């Protein structure tokens, strides 16, 4: 039985800027089931970060939620008061941020910070400390009891990211958001962190929303994947299906550009020519049209809808509509 | 931490040594015979010779320096040319008045400045933030002696709330006498500290670790007080440490305007009478005070910031 945990429905988010409203997210629709790992992939500036800060509502002051719903366990989060949102953060939904070097407070010990985030627990200080040490042990920090008294700068980047994961899992959340947790780390550490995350996901049985632009990691870790481009979902589905049978030209080009997929020796690495459209002045029709080598006449004036092609596979491209492309 | 403290104090001693030596040499580079200036044109040659010998001015300069440091190590700063009393005595008699004035000024201005700055940073671009900004700039721009004169006129002469001159007897009377001078020289610091804390606070509140704290549902009040302010305060501590030097010079104005005894008044009086041993003694003490306060600021920073501790 698939039990929906997070359901994002038709979400539209704007940034109010001096140049006018920047349509950072448009018609975002996807869901995350309990215990499932969903990857979000897309290039920088495609709205991944806006999306996760919207889920936790840790958005900049100039953010405006234009439309749609973010339902968590069936309840729409957008109308919730700040106080009720705060009760969810770090309790039901936790997050691991991108840069482990700046994610902890530099003047407080790791132990103090791990104690502070248990502010909802009624346990004694000694019990909270024991729990913190246990979590550090679970993510593979040796001698956790002694290391609780150390400051963040006394740990390496990989260790700090593991501490961040330990902190995020401390409350046994239903949903863990991982915002490019391995981007700032080198390749060996990346593998370690991914393996650790996989183990812990089994152990804690939480759903993970994994944001990355590294396709190899997504393929390794995720059950399903959502491909974003310029603030919109352009394709989503089962990870194997998406990688073997992409139905959107952008997804196809993205896979072609992944260094892991390049088999022949090349002087110049493949890229997708062109630029992401200006989100303050969106062009008519398909947002990928200018960079697409298979564009059809209808792409210029009609936005392709995100349509279901088969069970669990959706794409937003006119090429999948025989009546148009034929 | 202990090792850091020892190293920091060794550096402080070195700085005092260099500063005092420089001062010693500079005072002797001033043209004109100091003995003649001190004793006046009608002094007898015998008297002049006696003072010259007493101040060791007939010796070569390196010798004078050795004698000065020799005496200094024994806690002897020489004697007042006019009264014959020991300079150490005179200076240390005046020191508490100046110290209490400086500490009172720092205490109230830093407390109010940090509060205003933190509040303004927590509510940026609101009416209160803008008002704080305007008032801060006005405070910073007002020179201490103008504030001193105006507050004397308003609060002591017209309203008669506080005494106008002197230091007073007994603890409450002394505090009563401290209010106006401390207000006068602390006022510009309120604005300065408030601007500094606001800028520093806004920077820290934008850092990633604050976003992490928020993502764990920690309350905004706790984030400001124990997560951000502790980092935002670091540059303020340094500035206050250095600011002790500036406060020492503002104290000169306050001591003159309010006719308070103190180090500043002592320096001014001894310069006008060319009383070189007292000038040397009081400037040595103020230099030490300044160096000790900057060293203390560094130590407080190291205590507050674990990164600074391990860097050195």
How far is Cα of residue A172 from the mean position of the Cα atoms in its chain? 19
Report pLDDT for B28. 77
Give the strand order in the sheet containing A207-212.
A93-96, A175-179, A207-212, A37-41, A224-229, A232-238, A313-315, A307-310
Tokens of A115: 């104690």
Asked whether A71 and A12 are in contact (CB, 8 A), the reply is no
Helix axes B171-205, B127-141, angle to 10 degrees: 120
In 3D space, the residue among B167, B162, B166 whose CA is nearest the CA of residue B180 turns out to be: B162
Report pLDDT for A326. 55
Cβ of residue B208 closer than 8 Å to a chain A Cβ: yes
Q: Left, alpha or beta for A22 (phi > 0: left; psi -120 to 50: alpha)?
A: beta
* Statement: residue B260 has pLDDT above 90: no
Give the CA angle between residues A106, A112, A115 to the nearest 5°.
135
Contact B209 A91 (CB under 8 A): no
In 3D space, the residue among B158, B159, B176 whose CA is nearest the CA of residue B167 turns out to be: B176
pLDDT in tens, B59-68: 888 888 888 8
Cβ–Cβ contacts within 10 Å for residue B82, how many? 11
Q: A305 vs B172, which has greater pLDDT?
A: A305
How many angstroms separate the CA atoms of B277 and A22, rounded?
Answer: 72
How many angstroms separate the CA atoms of B109 and B301, rounded?
Answer: 19
Cβ–Cβ contacts within 10 Å for residue A147, how many? 19
pLDDT tier at B311, thresholds 50, 70, 90: low
Cβ of residue B206 closer than 8 Å to a chain A Cβ: no
Residue ranges of chain A whose pLDDT lies below 70: 1-2, 324-326
How many angstroms separate the CA atoms of A23 and A44, rounded?
Answer: 15
Task: Measure in Å the smallest separation between the Cα of B125 and chain A Cα atoms.
Answer: 12
Contact A105 B227 (CB under 8 A): yes
Chain A residues near residue B219 by CB distance under 8 angstroms = 86, 119
Give the one of A89, A164, A167 whose C-beta lies nearest to B217's C-beta.
Answer: A89
Percent residues over pLDDT 70 in chain B: 99
Query: Residue A69 carries which DSSP code?
Result: E
- Of all residues in chain B, what percent are helix, strand and coil, respectively (each to 5)? 80, 0, 20
Q: Does the ipTM exceed 0.90?
A: no
Domain range list for chain B: 95-311
Report pLDDT for B312. 47
Delineate the domains of chain A, giving CATH numbers in brackets: 4-92+173-273 (3.40.50.300), 106-170 (no CATH)
Predicted model pTM: 0.79
pLDDT in tens, B52-110: 887 777 888 888 888 888 888 887 877 877 777 888 888 888 888 888 889 899 999 99
pLDDT in tens, A227-256: 999 999 999 999 999 999 999 999 998 888
* Statement: residue B156 has pLDDT above 90: no
CB pairs < 8 Å spanning A and B = 70
Contact B306 A151 (CB under 8 A): yes
Report pLDDT for A207. 94
Asked whether A249 and A266 are in contact (CB, 8 A), the reply is no
Chain B residues near residue A89 by CB distance under 8 angstroms = 214-217
Domain B95-311 superfamily per CATH: MetI-like (1.10.3720.10)
């Amino acid at each position: 039985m698939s039990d929906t945990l997070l359901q994002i429905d038709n979400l539209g988010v704007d940034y109010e800027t001096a140049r006018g409203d920047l349509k950072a997210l448009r018609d975002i629709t996807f869901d995350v089931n309990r215990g499932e790992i969903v990857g979000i992939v897309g290039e920088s500036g495609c709205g991944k970060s806006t999306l996760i800060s919207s889920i936790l509502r840790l958005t900049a002051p100039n953010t405006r939620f234009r439309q749609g719903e973010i339902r968590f366990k069936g309840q729409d989060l957008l109308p919730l008061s700040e106080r009720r949102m705060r009760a969810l953060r770090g309790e039901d939904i936790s997050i691991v941020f991108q840069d482990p070097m700046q994610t902890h407070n530099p003047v407080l010990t790791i132990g103090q910070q791990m104690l502070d985030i248990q502010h909802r627990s009624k346990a004694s200080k000694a019990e909270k400390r024991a729990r913190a040490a246990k979590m550090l042990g679970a993510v593979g920090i040796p001698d956790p009891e002694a290391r609780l008294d150390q400051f963040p700068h006394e740990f390496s980047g990989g260790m700090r990211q593991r501490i961040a994961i330990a902190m995020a899992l401390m409350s046994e959340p239903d949903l863990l958001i991982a915002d490019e947790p391995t981007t700032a780390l080198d390749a060996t550490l990346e593998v370690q962190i991914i393996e650790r995350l996989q183990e812990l996901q089994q152990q804690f049985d939480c759903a993970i929303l994994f944001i990355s632009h590294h396709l190899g990691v997504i393929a390794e870790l995720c059950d399903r994947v959502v491909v974003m481009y310029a603030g919109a979902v352009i394709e989503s589905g089962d990870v194997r299906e998406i990688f073997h049978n992409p139905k959107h030209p952008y997804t196809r080009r993205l896979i072609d550009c992944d260094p892991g997929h390049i088999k022949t020796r090349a002087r110049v690495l493949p890229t997708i020519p062109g630029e992401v459209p200006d989100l303050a002045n969106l062009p008519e029709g398909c947002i990928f049209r200018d960079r697409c080598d298979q564009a059809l006449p209808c792409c210029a004036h009609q936005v392709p809808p995100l349509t279901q092609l088969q069970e669990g596979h959706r794409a937003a491209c006119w090429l999948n509509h025989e009546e148009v492309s034929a | 931490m202990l090792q850091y403290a020892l190293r920091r104090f060794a550096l402080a001693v070195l700085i005092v040594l260099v500063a005092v030596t420089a001062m010693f040499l500079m005072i002797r580079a001033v043209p004109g015979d100091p003995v003649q200036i001190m004793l006046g044109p009608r002094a007898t040659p015998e008297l002049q010779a006696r003072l010259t010998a007493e101040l060791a001015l007939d010796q070569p300069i390196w010798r004078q320096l050795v004698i000065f440091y020799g005496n200094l190590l024994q806690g002897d700063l020489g004697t007042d040319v006019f009264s014959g009393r020991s300079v150490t005595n005179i200076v240390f008699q005046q020191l508490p008045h100046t110290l209490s004035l400086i500490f009172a000024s720092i205490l109230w201005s830093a407390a109010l400045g940090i509060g205003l700055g933190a509040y303004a940073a927590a509510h940026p671009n609101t009416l209160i933030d803008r008002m704080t900004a305007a008032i801060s700039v006005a405070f910073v721009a007002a020179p201490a002696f103008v504030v001193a004169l105006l507050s004397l006129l308003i609060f002591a002469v017209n309203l008669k709330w506080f005494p106008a001159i002197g230091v007073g007897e007994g603890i409450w009377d002394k505090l009563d006498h401290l209010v106006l001078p401390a207000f006068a020289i602390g006022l510009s610091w309120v604005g300065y500290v408030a601007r500094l804390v606001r800028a520093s606070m806004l920077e820290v509140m934008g850092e990633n670790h604050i976003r992490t704290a928020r993502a764990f549902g920690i309350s905004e009040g706790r984030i400001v007080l124990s997560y951000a302010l502790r980092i935002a305060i670091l540059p303020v501590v340094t500035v206050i440490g250095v600011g002790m030097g500036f406060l020492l010079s503002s104290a000169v104005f306050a001591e003159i305007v309010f006719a308070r005894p103190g180090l500043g008044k002592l320096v001014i009086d001894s310069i006008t009478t060319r009383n070189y041993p007292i000038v040397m003694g009081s400037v040595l003490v103020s230099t030490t005070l300044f160096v000790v306060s900057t060293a203390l600021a560094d130590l407080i920073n190291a205590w507050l910031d674990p990164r600074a501790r391990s860097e050195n």
